[in-house]
């Protein structure tokens, strides 16, 4: 399975864009990149996913590099409620495997 | 229900006792996943089901852990002779399938918080 690496933690000022990077250099051609987040004491919440094109939804944007070896999740206007652990995962044929995630702290 | 349901939400058990954790996936979801999350750590994959079969059990920490699924619906994760290191939140997720063609997301339950004392 492709592995992902993310920074352990990041801070972001409220109202500013939060850019969360993820490396997945061993991703194979037909594996998708998914992002989930987990707010304290809750189950993980789906955010967005993509294959090779950039994607945008009401929550976030996902930028995937042309070689697909890395991606960036963008929260355009971070709020205090966005404080959570963000997981970048690669969905392979058989299972979804999570890394340790990035703890995003949004600061007032 | 509309989402993935797990029970109990909290379980305190004595060391050495057996526990059963239940997961009710979203109706129609053929894939079901179990994860463990220890305090302050990331999600650790345990096992997944495609239908009622478990093609990959590699994440189960020891032979004290087992899981089954029946009727392509409810799944039970059983931990025998619990140890203190088993204390964690056990999360269940389901999705329409593992086939990438379906390009679908996994929905998570709220988890069962297990405390072994």
Share of chain B above pLDDT 70, in %: 92
Q: Please tell me which of the candidates B45, B103, B108 has its beta carbon nearest to residue A44.
A: B108
A87-98 pLDDT tens trace: 998 876 556 667
The chain-wide mean pLDDT, for chain A, equals 89
- Of the residues A34, A36, A43, A85, the best mutation for testing chain B's interface (the one with the most B CB atoms within 10 Å of its CB) is A43
The answer on pLDDT for A23 being more than 50 is: yes
- Of the residues B40, B42, B53, B104, the best mutation for testing chain A's interface (the one with the most A CB atoms within 10 Å of its CB) is B42
Query: Residue B111 and residue A31: Cβ atoms within 8 Å?
Result: no
Lowest model confidence (mean pLDDT) among A43-47, A73-77, B13-17, B112-116: A43-47
Query: Residue A45 and residue B35: Cβ atoms within 8 Å?
Result: no
A99 inside 8 A of chain B by CB? yes
Query: Residue B45 and residue A93: Cβ atoms within 8 Å?
Result: no
Q: Please tell me which of the candidates B4, B45, B98 has its beta carbon nearest to residue A97.
A: B45
Which residues, 6+ apart, have CB-to-CB distance to B22 below 8 Å? B6, B7, B8, B74, B75, B76
A54 inside 8 A of chain B by CB? no
Pairing of strands B53-56, B75-79: unpaired
Q: How far apart are CA B14 and CA B61, in angstroms?
A: 19
Query: Residue A87 and residue B42: Cβ atoms within 8 Å?
Result: yes
Q: How many Cβ pairs closer than 8 A exist between chain A and B?
A: 57
Pairing of strands A70-75, A18-23: antiparallel
The answer on pLDDT for B102 being more than 60 is: no
Query: Residue A93 and residue B42: Cβ atoms within 8 Å?
Result: no
Do residues A54 and A65 lie in contact, with contact meaning Cβ atoms separated by under 8 Å? no
The answer on pLDDT for A15 being more than 70 is: yes
Q: What is the DSSP string of chain A?
A: ----B--SEEEEETTSPEEEEEE-TT--TTPEEEEEEE-TTS--EEEEEESSS-EE-SS-EEEE-TTSSEEEEEETT--GGG-EEEEEEEE-SS-EE----EEEEEE-
The chain-wide mean pLDDT, for chain B, equals 89
Closest CA to A18 of A83, A65, A64: A83
The answer on pLDDT for B103 being more than 50 is: yes
Question: DSSP assignment, residue B52?
Answer: T
């Amino acid at each position: 399975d492709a592995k992902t690496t993310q920074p352990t933690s990041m801070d972001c000022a409220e109202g500013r864009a939060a850019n969360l990077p993820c490396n997945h250099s061993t991703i194979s051609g037909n594996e998708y990149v998914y992002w989930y987040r987990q707010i304290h004491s809750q189950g993980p919440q789906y955010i967005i996913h993509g294959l090779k094109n950039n994607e945008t939804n009401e929550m976030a944007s996902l930028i995937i590099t042309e070689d697909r070896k890395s991606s960036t999740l963008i929260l355009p206007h971070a709020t205090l409620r966005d404080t959570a652990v963000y997981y970048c995962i690669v969905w392979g044929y058989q299972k979804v495997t999570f890394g340790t995630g990035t703890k995003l702290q949004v600061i007032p | 229900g509309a989402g993935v349901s797990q029970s109990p939400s909290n379980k305190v058990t004595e060391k050495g006792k057996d526990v059963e954790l239940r997961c009710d996936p979203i109706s129609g979801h053929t894939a079901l996943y179990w994860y463990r999350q220890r305090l302050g750590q990331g999600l650790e994959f345990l096992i997944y089901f495609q239908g009622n079969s478990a093609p990959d059990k590699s994440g189960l920490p020891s032979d004290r852990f087992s899981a089954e699924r029946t009727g392509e619906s409810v799944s039970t994760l059983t931990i025998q002779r619990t140890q203190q290191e088993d204390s964690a939140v056990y999360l269940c997720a389901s999705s329409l399938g593992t086939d990438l063609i379906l390009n679908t997301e996994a929905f998570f339950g709220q988890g069962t918080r297990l405390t072994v004392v």
